[in-house]
Structure 1
Amino acid sequence: MRQSGPVYDFDEVLGRCTRSAVHLEMRDSYAVDNESGRFAQWKSGHRYDPADRASWWRPWHDLIASTVHRGVAVRRARIVSEPVSEYIRFEYDGTFMNVRAGELVRWLPRRNASDLALPGNDFWVFDGTIVRFGHFTGDGQYTGEEWTEQPAVAKLCTEAFDAVWERATPHEEFTI
């Protein structure tokens, strides 16, 4: 796995957040082969029942719920090609889980992002100061991460996220 710059533990960084954690996703597929079978199950027709929380709630949801409970705004924006890929349909169908945990999620069609200056990789920004870039292969396999506290990079990513967020459609109003 690729790692450059300082090394952080994601859960610890999120646990220290006091204001915001934002995540920008810009790929149409993520590690399809490594979805712990969830993508394959979805492709074969399985859908999680929002009313059966025990069947889909995972440690990730606990982490987000506790973060939001502390007063931290957790926002996720997804830039997607249209028509959306099968993987994005899978993500869309499961986004209710993120929302139930307390994340705010918005979607932006890629054609509406053409005039935005965006970093080359997906990222998280924590309290506007710590950035975590995710690195992926062309077919969506995760290859590592890169962390930085460079103020110019944090500013670039924060401004890029805010520009996407302003244009994007809330999950509850977005249709695919």
Structure 2
Amino acid sequence: MTLRFLGTTSDDGDCPTLYEVEETRQIVVQGDRLTDPEHLDQLRDVKESETFVVIPRELLTRFAPRSDDVAELVPFKEVAHLFAEFKHTAWRLETQRGYASDRESPKWNRWRAGESLGYDPAHPWHANVRTQTEAGKRFERVRLVDDPPTEGQRFLLASGLGNVEAGEDIRNLSRAEAQRAGLPDYDFWLFDSRTVVEFAFGSDGTTLGVRVREDAESVLRACQVRDAAWHYAVATTEFQAGVRSTM
């Protein structure tokens, strides 16, 4: 079964930390073991297999998912209209080390052959970004990058320059810094600070579908992630230059 990182209240990104077992939605808690003898004596119905840890209340209030918030997995095409209909902002967090959609794109082989990937006004994505940003809306995203970058991440660093020319504000953040900041390890779009579109991926990076969430807790968490990621991330042009200098 797969553990999904939910969040941490530690500045060092270690503990206390909360995880979710994706298949069962059970919660796994990482924290300091309870050792106070007086407190241990007051515990009830303790099984031999049980362990008790101490965590700050904030860890649960900030990161524990609602038990009644089980969003249905739907095809990505069902949310495609949001990219033209949002009113103010469309913000994305990208955390994967590679995406099947990139590898299946015609741009992939062109990039591997050494071709530069710039702005293409005929490309549907670039055309829509240009239309929306000229109307005063904002397209923004933060992409996590490993050290060294994976092939998929290097592709996005290269192809992202065309997105920037189209009107997106793309920034990059090292995975190590993202973990220290307590950012999650799943992808999502946040539209107008009110609608969260969370991705589900297969082991090969194939998009299995998305979950749409509009409950207050999910939206608040996404806004907090956006603010922290945007604070630490670096403009992709600057980040790309730094990556080139170390390779």
Report the TM-score when normalising by structure 2. 0.63
Q: Greater Rg, structure 1 or structure 2?
A: 2
Aligned to 1:44: 113
Aligned to 1:15: 84
Is the Cα–Cα contact under 8 Å of residues 74 and 210 in structure 2 kept in the other structure?
Answer: no
Q: Secondary structure at the match of 2:115?
A: coil
Q: Which amino acid aligns with 1:92?
A: L
Q: In structure 2, how many angstroms separate the alpha carbons of the residues matched to 1:132 and 1:33?
A: 19
Q: Secondary structure at the match of 1:125?
A: strand
Aligned length: 170
* CA distance 1:6–1:129, change in 2 (3 Å): farther
Which residue of 72, 76, 81 maps to 1:4?
A: 72
Alignment of 1:59-98 (within 5 A): 59-98=124-163
Q: In terms of mean alpha carbon deviation, does 65-74 or 122-131 score higher? A: 65-74
Which residue of 216, 228, 238 maps to 1:173?
A: 238
Extract unaligned runs of 5+ from structure 1.
Answer: none
Q: Secondary structure at the match of 1:82?
A: coil
* CA distance 1:86–1:120, change in 2 (3 Å): closer
Q: In terms of mean alpha carbon deviation, does 152-161 or 9-18 score higher? A: 9-18
Superposition deviation, residue 95 in structure 1: 1.0
Task: Answer yes or no: is 1:161 the counterpart of 2:229.
Answer: no
Is the Cα–Cα contact under 8 Å of residues 73 and 209 in structure 2 kept in the other structure?
Answer: no
Is the Cα–Cα contact under 8 Å of residues 129 and 167 in structure 2 kept in the other structure?
Answer: yes
Is the Cα–Cα contact under 8 Å of residues 18 and 71 in structure 1 kept in the other structure?
Answer: no
Aligned to 1:28: 97
Greater RCO (Cα-Cα under 8 Å, separation 6 or more): 1
Q: In structure 1, how many angstroms separate the alpha carbons of the residues matched to 2:82 and 2:180?
A: 31
* CA distance 1:144–1:159, change in 2 (3 Å): same
The percent of aligned pairs where both chains have the same amino acid is: 29
Q: Secondary structure at the match of 1:135?
A: strand
Is the Cα–Cα contact under 8 Å of residues 32 and 87 in structure 1 kept in the other structure?
Answer: no
Q: In structure 2, how many angstroms separate the alpha carbons of the residues matched to 1:156 and 1:83?
A: 29
Which residue of 89, 97, 102 maps to 2:167?
A: 102
Q: In structure 2, how many angstroms separate the alpha carbons of the residues matched to 1:108 and 1:162?
A: 13
Superposition deviation, residue 32 in structure 1: 5.9
Is the Cα–Cα contact under 8 Å of residues 195 and 219 in structure 2 kept in the other structure?
Answer: yes
Is the Cα–Cα contact under 8 Å of residues 161 and 237 in structure 2 kept in the other structure?
Answer: no
Superposition deviation, residue 67 in structure 1: 1.4
Report the TM-score when normalising by structure 1. 0.86
